[in-house]
Amino acid sequence: MTFAELANKGISTQPVYEAGKPIDQVARELGLDPAGIVKMASNENPHGSSPKAVAAAERALRELNLYPDGGYYALRSKLSRKLGLGMDQFIIGDGSNEIIELLGHVFLAPGVECVMHQASFVVYKLVTLMFGATPVEVPLVNMRQDLRTLAAAITPRTRLVFLASPANPVGATNSAEEIAELVRALPPHAILVLDEAYADFLDNPPDLRPLIAEGRKVICLRTFSKIYGLASLRVGYGYAAAELIALVQRARQPFNVNGVAAAAATAALDDDDFVARCRRENRAGLAQLGAGFGKLGLEFVPGQGNFLLVKVGEAGRIFAALQQRGLIVRPVKPYGLPEWLRITVGTPPQNERLLAALADVLRS
Ligand SMILES: *Cc1c(COP(=O)(O)O)cnc(C)c1O
By three-state DSSP, how is residue 30 classified? helix
**C-alpha Rg value of the chain to the nearest Å:** 21
Atom of ligand 1 nearest to the CA of 96: 8
pLDDT of residue 114: 98
Q: Which residues line ligand 1 (CB under 6 A)?
A: 43, 95-97, 121, 164, 168, 195, 197, 223, 225-226, 231, 236
Per-residue pLDDT reduced to its tens digit, 156-193: 999 999 999 999 999 999 999 999 999 999 999 999 99
Ligand 1: centre distance to CA 195 (Å): 8
In this structure, the residue with its CA closest to atom 10 of ligand 1 is: 197
| Residue 95 DSSP code | S
Atom of ligand 1 nearest to the CA of 97: 7
Per-residue pLDDT reduced to its tens digit, 31-74: 999 999 999 999 999 999 999 999 999 999 999 999 999 999 99
Q: How far apart are CA 216 and CA 351, in angstroms?
A: 42
Ligand 1: centre distance to CA 364 (Å): 35
Contact 114, 159 (CB under 8 A): yes
Atom of ligand 1 nearest to the CA of 168: 13
Q: Map out the domains of the chain with their CATH numbers.
A: 19-48+272-363 (3.90.1150.10), 51-268 (3.40.640.10)
Ligand 1: centre distance to CA 155 (Å): 27
Ligand 1: centre distance to CA 2 (Å): 35
- Amino acid identity for residue 140 in this structure: L
pLDDT of residue 253: 97
Atom of ligand 1 nearest to the CA of 43: 1
Ligand 1: centre distance to CA 236 (Å): 8
Alpha helices for 71-175 (secondary structure H):
73-83, 96-107, 122-130, 147-152
In this structure, the residue with its CA closest to atom 11 of ligand 1 is: 197
pLDDT of residue 212: 98
Contacts of 132 (CB under 8 A, 6+ apart): 9, 10, 108, 109, 110
pLDDT of residue 21: 83
Ligand 1: centre distance to CA 216 (Å): 24
| Residue 22 DSSP code | P
Pick the closest to residue 198 from 47, 43, 33 (CA basis): 43
pLDDT of residue 20: 81
The best mutation among 98, 103, 120, 121 to test binding of ligand 1, ranked by most ligand atoms within 8 Å of the C-beta, falls on 121
Pick the closest to residue 183 from 200, 165, 201 (CA basis): 165
Ligand 1: centre distance to CA 52 (Å): 22
- Residues of the chain falling short of pLDDT 70: none
Alpha helices for 109-191 (secondary structure H):
122-130, 147-152, 176-185
Atom of ligand 1 nearest to the CA of 120: 13
